[in-house]
Chains A and B, each alone.
Chain A
Amino acid sequence: MNKKDFDNALRQEVYDLLDMAAALAEQDDGDLRMALSTPELFASRKAILTGCGDSYCAALAARPVFEKLGHIGTSALPAIEAARHLDSGVLGGEPHNPLLYCISVSGTVSRMIEIAKRGNETGVGAHTVAVTGNPDSPLAQECQTTMAVPMPPYTNNFDEHSPGLRSYYASIYALMTSAIRMGEVKMHYPMSQAGQYRKDIVDYIESYKDCIDAMDEQMFALAEEWKDIDSFEFVAAGDDMVTAWFDSAKIYEATGDVCTYENVEDWCHINFFARDYKGIATVLIAEKNNPAMPRIIEAAGVMARIGRPCIVFTDADESLFPAGMKVCKLPSAAHSWITPAGNYIPFALFAGYLAKFKNVGMFRQGMEAFAVQDGNKIKTSKIEIV
């Protein structure tokens, strides 16, 4: 079997991402740094990060960084929660509070525009910030501040749209650097440290260059082995849940298989009982400093004992996991909070190969039910301020 025949748009995006990280930082750092003024960063006592799909996942990835480095209480909310369910008192009543980051790469999705409108209509209250790749978008025009993250140009060699890794990384990078900037201007660390944090993020992505070809081989082999599996579960804990979420999204987008994600404790309580346990591919994500690592190792033992097809994505010592369990060894980041910026990379390779093995188009390309323009109504959904 020739691996080259299984090359795909998602795989190419992975490889491009490894070069894009440094280019993005060089291109966008100056503007990102100045997007919010020092008085605006000082005036905010609470931040809300909100987005749809991958943008929501980027919010989840960045939330701990705002708290740890920016020293600001931060919530990450799905768009529908922020738009329709968040108490209006949370969005208004105090100048510049909360700092409401509305994340959308295209800047055109209805729910994000709705949230920005809702924030702005509080009058004295939320400071709305568009985090977008399109500074001319409706979302950017609606928000008080635009944090623009245009990406270096890229085209793949395939007639298909790839699940967005570059855009996801760009959103994460913009948010993380905003959090770093907040801690910098609040003088929790000097400018040199802030610069080092930004470099650490880029260095982490670039560190995958040393192992990406080996990962590519491993993920190709895994996709061939698991090509007949149609159900996936992603299991993690704490900050690693971000990647469990994102990996499951890549399966939906790349192959359309049904999957779910669950924290390791509740997996043991609930998902453990799945009847077709030998037909569910189970993916564990565990950064070596994860406080729940001992519990994850226990769960890995359970999965191995009952015969679940499993793989662990980790930078920890492979010998921690049951003998014979598949392990994909990840590079370590300078700080644990950086890992969601890149630890999805090998699984994205897998998802791309799996789509090829299953002979399915990404985003259901070629299927009539999915051929309608904005068929999922994310850009044409009615905007309502409740």
Chain B
Amino acid sequence: MKFYETKIDCQKNGVHQITDWVRQCIADSGVKSGIAVISAPHTTSGISLTPYMLHDYDLQDVQIQLDVIVPQRVDYTHQFDTPADAAGHTKSAMMGTNTTLIVEDGKPVLGHSQGIFFYEFDGPRLQKCYLSVYSD
């Protein structure tokens, strides 16, 4: 197993593409066939796949739709932080904080349009992203 870590300077409600970083790490690992697990070790962050070629403003669609489902309210039971933080916890739980990819030919197996994205549901914050690459 090879383990990688990067830091992402997230803006508020930032959506950050990490596809190239994942490709580079897998290539570096030397693993030809196996799996790669990507993890966001935070409670207001998420990992998901969405079209890689979108403009930055289009990438906000996911954030906007999650806002519809999980609006920033003042009456969350979690009061210690902010409404954005409390909503961010729920969004993070809904999206999930890790994703597994198939590795074949030393590359992540992605669909034609798929890119890998790190989402921040509060911020701005300097967040971490982990990647483990396993050989079969």
Contact = CB atoms under 8 A, between A and B. Distances in A.
B123 A42 contact: no
A38 B75 contact: yes
Interface of A: 33-34, 37-39, 42, 184-185, 187, 190-192
B124 A34 contact: no
Contacts of B12: 190
A205 to B, nearest CB: 25
A184 B84 CA distance: 10
Contact of A191 (B72, B74, B75, B82): B82
Given A190-B12, A190-B124, A190-B125, A34 B79 contact: yes
A37 B82 contact: no
B57 interface: no
A184 B82 contact: yes
Contacts of A42: 74
A230 to B, nearest CB: 53
Interface string B79-91: 1111111000000
Contacts of A37: 79
B75 A185 contact: no
Interface in B43-63: none
Which of A37, A38, A187, A192 has the most B CB atoms < 10 Å from its CB?
A38
A38 B84 CA distance: 11
B123 A190 contact: yes
Contact of B83 (A38, A190, A192): A38
A122 to B, nearest CB: 23
Interface string B95-134: 0000000000000000000000000001111000000000
15 contacts: A33-B80, A34-B79, A37-B79, A38-B76, A38-B79, A38-B83, A185-B83, A187-B72, A187-B84, A190-B123, A190-B124, A190-B125, A191-B81, A191-B122, A192-B124
